[in-house]
Amino acid sequence: MLNKIDLTGLSLEEMERFVADHGEPTYRGRQLFHWIYGRGVRTFAEMSDLPVTLRTRLAERATIGVLAPLGREVSGDGTRKYLFGCTDGRQIEAVLIPDEGRLTACLSTQVGCALACAFCLTGKMGFIRHLQAGEIVDQALALQRDLQPGERIGNLVLMGMGEPLHNYDATVKALSILAHPLGPAYPPRRITLSTVGLVPEIVRLGQSGLGVNLAVSLHAGTDELRDRLVPINRRYPLKELMAALRVYPLPPRRRITFEYVLIDGVNDRSEDARELARLLRGLRCKVNLLPLNETPAIPFRRPSQERVETFQRILKSAGILVTIRESRGLDISAACGLLATETNQKRLDSTGCLT
Ligand code: SF4
């Protein structure tokens, strides 16, 4: 029997090559690309402008879609968390977050994560594997299929499981497909890639011309503190990270976002805010403060509202644009830092930590 190729994850050029290898003109590749990514169809039978004979041949040789939907949970605040099965049995999660009349789709880029940030449940899973471009794109397509009448996805963020820049090639390929005018056509200014700060890949991303927004999970204003919270800081200390960000080619009127999870008694003191303000001085940026989402597997607490507001005030008075981000989907563990797939979650609950 012929081994079928899955088309989800192929770039336009790869799809054109695929049809050419089957004796078809390259414009058929563009049609396929548009049907799969732009219109989100899952069967060749629906591709009404392709000849029936071609549709039959394609169905014999190829498939569309690499993820199987396994579950969907809806939070009291309307956040929806989706569980998907990969073809090798691994599981990943993606989240749809309602936000001022539109939805933000939060996608995963890896199964687990190697970077072991101290407050993150995905980090506790350890690294299992990178996702392929098709597995990243297919999350967005699956979420689009689940939209209700009148709903639309306004923003895409790569803030789910994994560090997107650790999986650089697949991530950039997936984003190029998602931003392609013949595909889902998400404008790059509506896409945000969030990283803990892999410096060489930040430089590469800047040179890629992709033009997506960059968010950096900072969480500390000094190396001493950041080494503890974000271990990758030992490899790429703040001096190196900030130097790369200061020359990052930001499109006009855009800012780098810094994510800062506030942890009670760890990085939420007034002096921490002042260190942060010093570090960010002169940079076109904004800061999102995220009071920690508590979970039994993580030995940290959420600060008081008063602490959070004091921290915000200090940054504001230093002239920094700063917002406090409300946690979404807490009751279904869909909030930032709480994504870990069921199997691993069970292991976490029973052992308290993962080896
Ligand atoms: S915060 Fe991001 S980079 Fe850090 S462990 Fe979690 S998923 Fe990985």
Nearest CA to ligand 1 atom 4: 117
How close is the Cα of 116 to the center of ligand 1, in Å? 6
Q: Facing residues of 193 across strands?
A: 158, 214
pLDDT of residue 341: 64
**Confidence grade of residue 349 (pLDDT, cut at 50, 70, 90):** very low
Write 311-318 long-range contacts (CB < 8 A, 24+): 311/262, 311/268, 311/270, 311/272, 311/273, 314/270, 314/273, 314/274, 314/277, 315/273, 315/276, 315/277, 315/287, 318/274, 318/277, 318/281
- Are the C-beta atoms of 17 and 25 separated by less than 8 Å? no
How close is the Cα of 217 to the center of ligand 1, in Å? 9
| Intrachain domains 5-63 and 68-351 with the same fold | no
Residue of 275, 282, 113, 263 lying closest to 198 (CA atoms): 113
Pairing outcome for strands 127-130 and 80-85? unpaired
Q: Which atom of ligand 1 is nearest to 163's Cα?
A: 3
Pairing outcome for strands 110-112 and 127-130? antiparallel
Q: Residue 22: in which H helix or E strand, if any?
A: none
How close is the Cα of 163 to the center of ligand 1, in Å? 6
How close is the Cα of 94 to the center of ligand 1, in Å? 15
Nearest CA to ligand 1 atom 7: 162
- Write the pLDDT tens digit of every residue in 249-265: 998 899 999 999 999 99
pLDDT of residue 2: 65
- Are the C-beta atoms of 141 and 184 separated by less than 8 Å? yes
Write 28-31 long-range contacts (CB < 8 A, 24+): 28/54, 30/182
Q: Which atom of ligand 1 is nearest to 160's Cα?
A: 7
Q: Which atom of ligand 1 is nearest to 110's Cα?
A: 7
Q: Which residues line ligand 1 (CB under 6 A)?
A: 113, 115-117, 120, 122-123, 161-163, 196, 217
Inform me whether the pLDDT recorded for 112 exceeds 80: yes
- Write the pLDDT tens digit of every residue in 267-320: 999 999 999 999 999 999 999 999 998 888 888 999 999 999 999 999 999 999
**Confidence grade of residue 330 (pLDDT, cut at 50, 70, 90):** low
Measured in whole angstroms, the distance separating CA 92 from the mean position of its chain's CA atoms is 12
pLDDT of residue 342: 42
**What are the boundaries of each domain within the chain?**
5-63, 68-351
Considering the segment(s) 68-351 as one domain, its CATH architecture is: Alpha-Beta Barrel (3.20)
Mutation choice for ligand 1 from 115, 129, 198, CB with most ligand atoms inside 8 A: 115
The dihedral of CA 267, 262, 199, 164: what is its sign? positive
Q: Which fold has domain 5-63?
A: DNA polymerase; domain 1 (1.10.150)
Nearest CA to ligand 1 atom 5: 123
How close is the Cα of 195 to the center of ligand 1, in Å? 8
